[in-house]
């Protein structure tokens, strides 16, 4: 299955020198999926609603300095490869090229809509993240924001003996960046990611009333003042097609997973988790995936795979489920060697680790990113939740339904 039938042409282009305020104004068009930023005739990056919602840039900031550098894909690219690129670049929207010109964009929602009919063979239990990171109603918004950023997650369940609400990263940032302005309560996510806000999390805000003051005072408010007071849950045995249908019907991007017998929160499942399920490989395929192999110069795939193995083998038992390395080349050079960004996502049975490294030449950049991953493993610091290892039967089932689609 390729993406030719799900490419959206609901995008607009701006030059790198355009003020950020003009780009923000473009998103008043609710049908717009993304802004593609160009440097002359060359693709430079994108601005998405999600990124806009989490931005605190000054209106005069040039958009070229705030773009998300994500890989472009061909309009006939395989859906699995697009899903892999989305996970590797931490992006929910990718530009689509046709004859080296930007033809459109492809979004997470479009992919999920396309594959939804084939998801009935897989359950939430196959995809959800098993360690539930949560907060309490009395935790300050500042501390909750730090948890969201440290764990690189967008949704934080609020628990007070039982599940009482949901806090969204986009709502927190939208709230705190309105320093000096009055707010009358309600959802602050209407201008942001259509699946990420408090309203979109399944309920309405516990109104926080008219507030004025600086950001520090806002960050000292308790989470209960900003959280969504209703949370949508799903049981472990629910099929993924029903899960995705619920996400679309309720305009949400995450659900709290509960035990099949009792309503006890045991994890969380997001659109990203479902997209990641599309990237699972057959048992006989490579665990380490590299995007941008042509940038490796004198190194090759085996060198990168050996580096990942050396990093993970130093600190006891660790089952590597998947490692993805994405390489992006910048225009800047030093003595003819380009500046390269390497992003590593390491999914293990002890949680997942992610880090970036930027250096001249791909091998240097990968080494810097691997060093950062190694420090995280040494400290026992995971970015996000643990994943369950996939046994061969489970991999066969998942891969089978995809081939059948």
Token pair, residue 253, equals 């991007």
pLDDT tens for each residue of 29-61: 777 878 899 988 888 888 877 666 655 566 678
Is the pLDDT score of 236 beyond 90? no
Best CA proximity match to 338, nearest among 330, 326, 347, 348: 330
Q: Are 366 and 357 in contact (CB under 8 A)?
A: yes
How far apart are the C-alpha atoms of 242 and 119, rounded to whole Å? Answer: 8
CATH architecture of 11-107: Roll (3.10)
Could you count the other beta carbons within 10 Å of the beta carbon of residue 387?
22
Domain 288-379 has CATH 3.30.160.100: yes
Token pair, residue 178, equals 């309105």
pLDDT at 399: 43
Name the band, by pLDDT with cuts 50, 70 and 90, for residue 198.
Answer: very low
Domain 127-277 has CATH 3.10.580.10: yes
How far apart are the C-alpha atoms of 382 and 351, rounded to whole Å? Answer: 6
pLDDT at 54: 56
From-to residues of CATH 3.10.580.10 in the chain: 11-107, 127-277
Q: What is the CA radius of gyration of the chain?
A: 21
How far apart are the C-alpha atoms of 404 and 236, rounded to whole Å? Answer: 24
Which percentage of the chain shows pLDDT scores above 70?
A: 77
Q: Are 323 and 308 in contact (CB under 8 A)?
A: yes
Is the pLDDT score of 183 beyond 60? no
How far apart are the C-alpha atoms of 232 and 243, rounded to whole Å? Answer: 11
Could you count the other beta carbons within 10 Å of the beta carbon of residue 354?
19
108-115 and 79-89 are packed helices; what angle lies between their axes, rounded to 10 degrees?
140
């Amino acid at each position: 299955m390729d993406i030719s039938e799900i490419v959206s042409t609901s995008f607009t282009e701006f030059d790198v020198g355009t003020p950020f305020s003009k780009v923000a104004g473009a998103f008043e068009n609710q049908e717009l999926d993304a802004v593609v930023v160009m440097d002359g005739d060359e693709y430079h990056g994108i601005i998405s609603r999600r990124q806009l919602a989490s931005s605190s840039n000054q209106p005069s900031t040039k958009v070229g300095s705030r773009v998300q550098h994500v890989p472009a894909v061909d309009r006939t690219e395989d859906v699995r490869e697009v899903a892999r690129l989305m996970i590797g670049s931490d992006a929910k929207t990718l530009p689509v090229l046709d004859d080296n010109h930007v033809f459109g964009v492809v979004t997470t929602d479009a992919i999920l809509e396309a594959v939804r009919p084939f998801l009935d063979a897989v359950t939430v239990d196959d995809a959800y993240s098993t360690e539930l990171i949560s907060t309490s109603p009395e935790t300050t918004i500042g501390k909750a924001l730090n948890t969201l950023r440290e764990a690189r997650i967008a949704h934080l369940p609020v628990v007070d003996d039982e599940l009482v609400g949901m806090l969204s990263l986009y709502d927190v940032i939208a709230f705190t960046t309105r320093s000096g302005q009055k707010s009358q309560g309600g959802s602050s996510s209407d201008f942001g990611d259509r699946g990420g806000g408090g309203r979109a999390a399944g309920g309405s805000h516990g109104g926080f009333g008219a507030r004025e003051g600086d950001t520090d005072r806002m960050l000292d408010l308790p989470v209960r003042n900003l959280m969504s007071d209703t949370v949508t849950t799903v049981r472990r045995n629910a099929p993924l097609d029903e899960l995705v249908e619920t996400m679309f019907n309720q305009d949400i991007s995450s659900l709290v997973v509960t035990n099949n017998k009792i309503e006890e929160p045991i994890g969380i499942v997001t659109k990203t988790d479902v997209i990641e399920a599309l990237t699972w490989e057959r048992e006989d395929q490579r665990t380490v995936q590299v995007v941008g192999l042509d940038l490796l110069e004198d190194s090759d795939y085996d060198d990168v795979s050996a580096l990942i193995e050396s990093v993970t083998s130093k600190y006891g038992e660790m089952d590597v489920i998947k490692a993805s390395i994405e390489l992006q080349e910048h225009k800047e050079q030093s003595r003819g060697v380009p500046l390269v960004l390497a992003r590593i996502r390491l999914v293990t049975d002890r949680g997942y680790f992610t880090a970036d490294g930027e250096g001249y030449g791909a091998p240097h950049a990968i080494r810097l990113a691997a060093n950062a991953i190694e420090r995280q493993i040494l400290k026992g610091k995971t970015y996000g939740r643990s994943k369950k290892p996939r046994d061969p039967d489970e991999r066969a089932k998942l891969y089978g339904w995809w081939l059948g689609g």
